[in-house]
Each structure stands twice: as C-alpha cells, then as structure tokens.
Structure 1
C-alpha cells in the first residue's frame, strides 16, 4: 500500500514539473500610462515588468508610487520602450496617440485600456490585465476585495442617500457619468453634480456650489492651508461656513484618479469618513 502511494506521489510530482516546463513563459511588459502602471504592479510578477510611465512614482497620482521605485521609469515616448523589446506594451486609450501608433508600426503588441466609468468596468479591466499577465487568480482576488469594500461602505452609508458633491481645485466637479458617480451610487450615495447638468466633469462657480446645498463635500485633501488659488477655492469662507470638517469627506486623489484595485482602499476610506461625519 505504501509503495503504491509513494509511486502515485512520484507520478504526480513528475507531471507537475513537466507541466511547468511545457508552459509558455509569462510575458514581459512595459507600461506608458499611470493607470496601467498600477494594474501591472498589482497583478504581474516583478520580473515581468520592464518599465513604467513617467508618473508611476508621482505620489499624488499613483497609489503605488513607493512600489514603482523598484522599476525603471520610462519617458513615455516610443524610443526607450522599443529598446526594452517587451512582449506587450500596456497603455491607456488616451495616451499620446503618436507614441501608440509608432509602437504598433514597429511591430509592438500594444494593448490599450479604456477609461472606466463604472465599478463593473473597473473589475473588467482588472480581469483583462490578470489574463494578460498570466495571473487571473490575482485579478479574482482584487475584485473580491472591491466587492467586500462595497459591502462595508453600503453599511456605513446607512441607506440615507446623502447628496455628495465631489469638489476639487478651482471648482472642478466630477459629473453624473463619471467613475466617482458610480462609486457613490453603488454604496447608496448621490452625486449632487448631476443637478448642475455636468456629465463627465467640469467647473462650477462658488455660487452654484453654495446654492446646490449638498449634504457633504467630497474633497481630495484636508487641511486649512491654501498654497495657491486652485486650493483657495475649496477653502473659501463661504464654503467653510456651510461645510466645516464635519461636512467634508476626504478621499485622497491617488485612490480615485485611476480605475483599479486601489478603489477598494478608496471605498474603505469612504466608509471611515462616513462613520466620522455621522458621529
């Protein structure tokens, strides 16, 4: 019996070794977009990543800026990408067109990722990148984490359908057809920008914001120091009067500027902020 069991184990181990030997090598990739940078760093093995975009280490834009320091930083132009000879170049649909076309003309396989406007589209992008790098299991885990964060945020929102206005520098607001709207509506909140007639995004006047009277402002940075005129808009006395810290929800921009696994962190942050302002 022991001999039979040992023989079966040897056969199984040999099959596993042969399977790994026969498997195609995982692709080597370069990214020239800050959002594909973060998908790549989350889902690929480090040795698969040949280079990242110029903004990969930008702490304001990249959730994984510290992790990006371990990889070469590219210029964003075609020349240094071609020198690396990656199997695949990943980028955004709206990354510089001339660069994308030149890479294609030189025989590079270029995969362009759309800008998602819903959480479902985000999860689809994650699955696509997981399949591309050969790690669909990691994509499944990343999406499961987003689903868990959604459930937690729904409980924090308390089914009160608060009207929230995402407000940035100089009065920029994320509109009704934006990813921010999807994030808010998925957990039971309402993007008040829809009442301004703004679809994707646009500027709103101070008067329009005050007249709109949302329940909360959603901003990307707290604090009371205005380093320039853009920041001064959010700290205007009229807004501070109606929206003190107890009426302001803060989610750092690096958590929402891209559609990717970091949205789980954005949702967790939202949950914590809702608990804070409601108590």
Structure 2
C-alpha cells in the first residue's frame, strides 16, 4: 500500500482478495471478538487509526515513527509498539491478523502460515477508487465496516471540494529529488487531475515513475512544479541557474513527502494542499 519509488481491490465478495491471505486454514475463532492486528506498513497504519479500536492495534510499522516517512502524527505513533516487520517481532505481539503492503519478507510469510495467522497484503493503489476499496478491506477485517464507509465518504467529499471543473487544468509536475516524477497510472497523477491540474509527465513521454531530464523541463515548463521533500532547498537540480531564469514562468511550491506515498486518509490532506496551491496562483 505504500509507494516508495526509492518503495485494487474491487468490492470484495469475501473478506480478502484471492492470493492475499496466506497459510493453511486458520483455527476457527469467535467472530464476535475483534481481531488483534499488527500492521507492517505505514499507509495501513494511517487507515487503522481511523477504522480500528486502539486496543485492537498491537503493532505498527517502524516507518510511522520516522518523521520522514510517517503518515500519522508522531505523537499518535508513539502510543504504539513498532516493528520492522520481521517474523520474530510480529510473532511476539501475538496477532490474529497482520496487514502489510505488497512486499513481505518470505520468512515472515512462512512464519505466519505455520502459525495460522492471517496475512492481508495490499498492493500500491493506482487510483482513488482502489485506495477506497483498500480502506473497505481493512475496515471489514478489523470488524468496523461502518468506519470504513465513513472514511471513504470523507475522502470523496475532500476530492469534490478540491476540484475546479469550470477552469482550465493547470499544467503541473510533482518533482522528487533528482528529477523523479510520477506519471500516468499512479495515484499521484489522479490526485493532480481531480485537484484541477494536468500532469505534464505524459507530455514528456515518461512512464509511471521516471526521471525527467532538465532540458525537457526547460523546453516545456509546467505552470506549477510541486517540489517533494526539498524544504531545506538541498535539491541541486532545483537550484540550477537555468531554472532560476524560468521563475517567472514556473511557480515552485513545496509538497510534503508524506502526502505522496500513501492513499487512504492521506488523500484528504494531499488534495487540500494541491487545491490551495492552485487557488493561490
């Protein structure tokens, strides 16, 4: 569920996607008892904070305690035990359910299977709809379908509020260190579109995640360049003299890194930031 280039769920006829639950059939458990959950993905952590009881959350990802990677407030993360996702750490927390991203260490998968602990793996969502379906999956697994529906409604409302259907789309790029940009087929691309922008990545012939040569940017500059993770202005490419001469044509604005890598409730803050930048032009 976390997208880190440096790292769809349809509506479910059953609790989990085929292939996402591993291990032999788990021993039957009382369905009225809410599961004890360990998350080993920071994007999942953010959803669990919205849809699960605090007492259900036995562990979260260690990334959620890293200010550079967390999708939840650090003060909130401090209330929970964190793991790096190793089998030993996860087993020590005695979960009924482990929720992870698309990549899990084989040793952890094997250990969970041996102990009949359910593992749910959620791939990186490429659209808001896929992200919303993942919220529903997590909420259903946690035993709080209503909370999942409420969070999805909040996200949909935020997306509607961020749009500006009566105005031309603003040409834009999201720019990570070294010129890495998200293209079509990514959640970031859809967030730009619903917030009133046109992602120029496709115009340059770039793929889902690709490095944009500086000369392309100069030849066809965007109106807005959203700089990710450069609050300290350490990106040497952004400080290039050629870009300096384009400042009257390009509005360079900060886009917090925490808003780029997750779907779920992070979408609310991401589209709000994008809309605020567009309205201030």
Same fold (TM over 0.5): yes
Distance change (3 Å), C-alpha of 1:82 and 1:140? same
Question: Which structure has the higher relative contact order (CA within 8 Å, separation 6+)?
Answer: 2
1:233 alignment partner, SS class: coil
Distance 2:105 2:31 in 1: 35
What are the ranges of 5 or more consecutive residues in structure 2 without an aligned counterpart?
1-29
Instruction: Find the counterpart in structure 2 of residue 86 from structure 1.
Output: 95
2:120 alignment partner, SS class: strand
Instruction: Find the counterpart in structure 2 of residue 135 from structure 1.
Output: 144
Distance 1:103 1:271 in 2: 43
Instruction: Find the counterpart in structure 2 of residue 239 from structure 1.
Output: 243
Query: Contact (CA 8 Å) 1:217, 1:243: kept in 2 or not?
Result: no
Distance 2:240 2:106 in 1: 39
Larger Rg: 1
Instruction: Find the counterpart in structure 2 of residue 219 from structure 1.
Output: 227
Query: Contact (CA 8 Å) 2:174, 2:227: kept in 1 or not?
Result: yes
Q: What do residues 120-146 of structure 1 show as CA deviations (whole Å, max 9, x unaligned)?
A: 111111111111111122212211111
Residue 114 of structure 1, CA deviation: 1.3
Distance change (3 Å), C-alpha of 1:29 and 1:271? same
1:259 alignment partner, SS class: coil
- More helix, by proportion: 1
Instruction: Find the counterpart in structure 1 of residue 256 from structure 2.
Output: 252
Distance change (3 Å), C-alpha of 1:246 and 1:212? closer
Q: What do residues 211-248 of structure 1 show as CA deviations (whole Å, max 9, x unaligned)?
A: 2222211222465632xxxx222232222332469712
Deviates more, 1:33-42 or 1:173-182: 33-42
Counterpart of 1:262 (choices 249, 263, 266) is 266
Distance change (3 Å), C-alpha of 1:23 and 1:83? closer
Query: Contact (CA 8 Å) 1:218, 1:248: kept in 2 or not?
Result: yes
Query: Contact (CA 8 Å) 1:224, 1:235: kept in 2 or not?
Result: no
Residue 103 of structure 1, CA deviation: 2.2
Residue 101 of structure 1, CA deviation: 3.4
Instruction: Find the counterpart in structure 1 of residue 14 from structure 2.
Output: none
Distance change (3 Å), C-alpha of 1:240 and 1:221? farther
TM-score, normalised relative to structure 2? 0.82
Instruction: Find the counterpart in structure 1 of residue 212 from structure 2.
Output: 204
1:145-184 mapped onto 2 (5 Å cutoff): 145-155=154-164, 158-184=166-192
Instruction: Find the counterpart in structure 2 of residue 106 from structure 1.
Output: 115
Distance 1:148 1:104 in 2: 39
Instruction: Find the counterpart in structure 1 of residue 79 from structure 2.
Output: 70
Query: Contact (CA 8 Å) 2:255, 2:273: kept in 1 or not?
Result: yes
2:181 alignment partner, SS class: strand
Instruction: Find the counterpart in structure 1 of residue 16 from structure 2.
Output: none
Give the total of aligned pairs.
251
1:17-28 mapped onto 2 (5 Å cutoff): 24-28=32-36
Instruction: Find the counterpart in structure 2 of residue 17 from structure 1.
Output: none
Query: Contact (CA 8 Å) 1:29, 1:48: kept in 2 or not?
Result: yes
Residue 198 of structure 1, CA deviation: 2.1
Distance 2:166 2:70 in 1: 31
1:56 alignment partner, SS class: helix
